[in-house]
């Protein structure tokens, strides 16, 4: 399968642009160069507003693709280069001089190919100051590249936000796996994530194009995520899960592809470019309730309204002067922990479930992702629909004794059973912090589960746990999924989903997909390790752990549900 079928900076708050001049302490006070020690290594920055003060290489075939050095210490730097078969040329600032191993280079001169692991003498003279380093080149072929250029102050602002909220205009160039240009145009770029944004040095981002475009053979969309996989040093977990979901019977699944990310010429690592789990992303509703709402009103007609703050009856909607004729759908919803910081300034609508959760006495917050601009009538319609389903799910036999509603009449057991199976098999660890999506389509009585999203904390769970999650243990399941798991017909659906779909899909991934993914990302993982110094062990070792866990986990499930064997593990947990 090709790269599509992968389907597919902590760093300093004051990063401006890397530069090649290290000068003596006597000149430092009068210079724009400063030092900052990060994780025991020296990085060199310069606060010139223009990139024409930097030395870098650029692709002659794709001039927008430029590569600046990454300093590994005060005497050495690496050029982290994609596409060895491209013609790379030097850019040398006017009035400066550059020599490598005694050969002089000017702007436009070809960069010769340097073997990996070889160090080369690099002498740069500018403004009468001579600086010497050792240069090493590292390469990563067969990997698409996203190169983004934006104002340095905007880049600083994005990465300085406590939580992502603002997007800035940028130029984006996507270079396909074969070296051809897949996209070149404007976008808006901002941060992405909650826990990963707060906890991890390597950040995730969002981009929004000005028109719907297909990138790397994925669906047409304006919005895309650039996922760091910072909590998964194997870089495999999201890919495995998204590919398994894509090959299963889920109506909607997230497409993705590995990429190398460069911003303003600096390498930022191996990332996963993904479709967004939203309407207009990987979800293609045939109707658009939000557009219908906007058509019915003018901008001054809708005002956010928040009621019953801090209670199980808390709701947030938009006060509009009318409603579409048909408000039965489509709705995209997300279970989330209650967030008391959300207020009228938030751009989504929401309501609460009634049942107590594992993390408090109140219900879960249900965010209405589509339509974000929901009228009061729409909110009350979907709120009542969800609560009726919940009451039935929490009833003894799945039938609400008061309303007579049977959860089987309002829940698509196949998709909810598949999500239950994914959470259990892959040992999903993020179930109480959001990213659990479900939806209701127009003129359809069922609530559907999906798409699955955000599985970087699963399987071996490297980030939070000192010890890997054991492959032989049953995962804790919460929310509605746990309650439905008590019903025999729901459990039977979960077993059918595994035996007929997930087991053969996993076997194909283990035998055919996983070896290819690991091989093709290995050079980029080496560059990523140089860039981030995560100190989480070699990615190849982490990949071995995930692969071994996956094989053992599948054999356990096969032994219980396919082969009908009884093992000590199976007796205890399944």
Structure tokens at 145: 């590249």
- If one compares 543 and 355, the residue with the highest pLDDT of the two is 543
Structure tokens at 108: 């436009």
The sheet with strand 88-91 has its strands ordered as 66-67, 56-59, 88-91
DSSP string, 514-572: HHHHHHHHHHHHHHHHHHH---S--HHHHHHHHHHHHHHHHHHHIIIIIS----HHHHH
* Opening angle at CA 357, ends 353 and 362, nearest 5: 55
Q: What pLDDT is recorded for position 294?
A: 81
343-362 pLDDT, tens per residue?
666 778 999 988 755 544 56
The answer to whether residue 29 scores a pLDDT higher than 90 is no
The answer to whether residue 324 scores a pLDDT higher than 80 is yes
Taking alpha carbons only, the member of 81, 9, 10, 70 closest to residue 41 is: 70
Q: What is the mean pLDDT of residues 535-561?
A: 85
Minimum mean pLDDT among 384-398, 457-471, 553-567: which range?
457-471
The answer to whether residue 238 scores a pLDDT higher than 60 is yes
Q: What is the DSSP-derived secondary structure letter of residue 242?
A: H
Burial 262-297 (b: 16+ CB within 10 A, else e): bbbbbbbbbbbbbbbbbbbbbbebebebbebbbebb
Please, which pLDDT band fits residue 19 given cuts at 50, 70 and 90? Answer: very low
DSSP reduced 3-state for 303: strand
End-to-end CA distance of the chain: 34
Q: What pLDDT is recorded for position 47?
A: 31
Show Cβ contacts of residue 470 under 8 Å, excluding neighbours closer than 6 positions.
none
3-state secondary structure 323-370: CCCCCCCCEEEEEECCCCCCCCCCCCEEEECCCCECCECCCCEEEEEE
Structure tokens at 78: 């690496």
The sheet with strand 349-352 has its strands ordered as 303-307, 315-319, 349-352, 365-370, 331-336, 436-440, 447-449
Please, which pLDDT band fits residue 312 given cuts at 50, 70 and 90? Answer: confident
Q: What pLDDT is recorded for position 135?
A: 96
117-130 pLDDT, tens per residue?
899 999 999 988 99
Please, which pLDDT band fits residue 327 given cuts at 50, 70 and 90? Answer: very high
Q: What is the DSSP-derived secondary structure letter of residue 384?
A: H
Q: What is the mean pLDDT of residues 45-64?
A: 68
Show Cβ contacts of residue 324 under 8 Å, excluding neighbours closer than 6 positions.
289, 292, 293, 296
Give the ranges where 172-229 is alpha helix by DSSP (H).
195-199
256-271 pLDDT, tens per residue?
999 999 999 999 999 9
Phi, psi angles (nearest 5°) of residue 179: 95, -5
Supply the mean pLDDT for the chain.
85
The answer to whether residue 187 scores a pLDDT higher than 50 is yes
Structure tokens at 255: 């497409």
Q: What's the predicted TM-score (pTM) here?
A: 0.87
Q: What pLDDT is recorded for position 462?
A: 59
């Amino acid at each position: 399968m090709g790269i599509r079928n992968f389907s597919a900076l902590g760093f300093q708050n004051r990063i401006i642009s890397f530069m090649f001049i290290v000068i003596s302490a006597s000149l430092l006070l009068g210079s724009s160069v400063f030092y900052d020690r990060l994780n025991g290594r020296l990085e060199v920055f310069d606060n010139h507003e223009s990139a024409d003060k930097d030395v870098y290489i650029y692709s002659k075939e794709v001039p927008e693709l430029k590569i600046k050095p990454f300093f590994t210490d005060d005497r050495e730097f690496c050029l982290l280069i994609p596409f060895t078969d491209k013609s790379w040329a030097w850019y040398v600032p006017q009035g400066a001089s550059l020599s490598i191993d005694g050969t002089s280079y000017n702007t436009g001169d070809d960069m010769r190919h340097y073997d990996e692991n070889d160090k080369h003498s690099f002498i740069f003279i500018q403004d009468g100051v001579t600086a010497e380093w050792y240069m090493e080149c590292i390469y990563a072929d067969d990997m698409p590249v996203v190169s983004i250029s934006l104002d340095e102050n905007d880049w600083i602002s994005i990465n300085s936000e406590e939580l992502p909220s603002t997007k800035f205009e940028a130029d984006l160039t996507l270079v396909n796996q074969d070296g051809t240009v897949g996209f070149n145009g404007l976008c808006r770029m901002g941060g992405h994530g909650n826990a990963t944004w707060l906890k991890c040095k390597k950040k995730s981002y969002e981009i929004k194009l000005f028109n719907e475009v297909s990138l790397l053979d994925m669906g047409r969309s304006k919005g895309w995520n650039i996922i760091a996989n910072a909590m998964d040093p194997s870089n495999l977990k999201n890919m495995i899960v998204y590919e398994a979901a894509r090959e299963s019977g889920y109506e909607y699944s997230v497409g993705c592809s590995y990429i190398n990310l460069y911003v303003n010429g600096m390498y930022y690592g191996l990332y996963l470019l993904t479709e967004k789990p939203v309407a207009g992303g990987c979800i293609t509703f045939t109707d658009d309730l939000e557009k219908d709402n906007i058509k019915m009103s003018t901008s001054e007609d809708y005002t956010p309204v928040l009621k019953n703050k801090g209670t199980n009856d808390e709701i947030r909607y938009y006060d509009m002067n009318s409603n579409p004729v048909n408000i039965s759908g489509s709705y995209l919803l997300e279970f989330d922990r209650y967030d008391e910081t959300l207020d009228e300034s938030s751009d989504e609508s929401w309501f609460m479930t009634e049942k107590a959760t594992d993390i408090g006495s109140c219900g879960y917050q249900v965010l209405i992702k589509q339509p974000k601009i929901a009228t009061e009538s729409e909110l009350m319609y979907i709120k009542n629909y969800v609560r009726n389903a919940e009451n039935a799910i929490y009833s003894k036999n799945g039938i609400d004794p008061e309303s007579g509603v049977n959860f089987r009449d309002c829940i698509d057991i196949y998709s909810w059973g598949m999500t239950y199976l994914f959470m259990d098999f892959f040992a999903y660890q993020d179930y109480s912090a959001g990213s659990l999506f479900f939806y209701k389509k127009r003129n359809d009585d069922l609530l559907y589960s999906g798409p699955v999203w955000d599985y970087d904390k699963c399987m071996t769970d490297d980030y939070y746990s000192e010890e890997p999650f054991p492959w032989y243990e049953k995962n804790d399941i919460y929310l509605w999924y746990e309650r439905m798991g008590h019903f025999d017909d729901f459990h039977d659906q979960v077993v059918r989903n595994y035996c007929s779909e997930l087991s053969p899909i996993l076997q194909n991934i283990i035998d055919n997909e996983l070896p290819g993914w690991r091989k093709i990302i290995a050079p980029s993982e080496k560059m990523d390790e140089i860039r981030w110094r995560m100190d989480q062990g070699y990615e190849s070792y982490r990949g071995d752990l995930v692969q071994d866990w996956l094989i053992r986990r599948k054999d356990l499930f096969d032994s219980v549900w396919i082969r009908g064997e009884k093992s000590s593990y199976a007796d205890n947990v399944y």
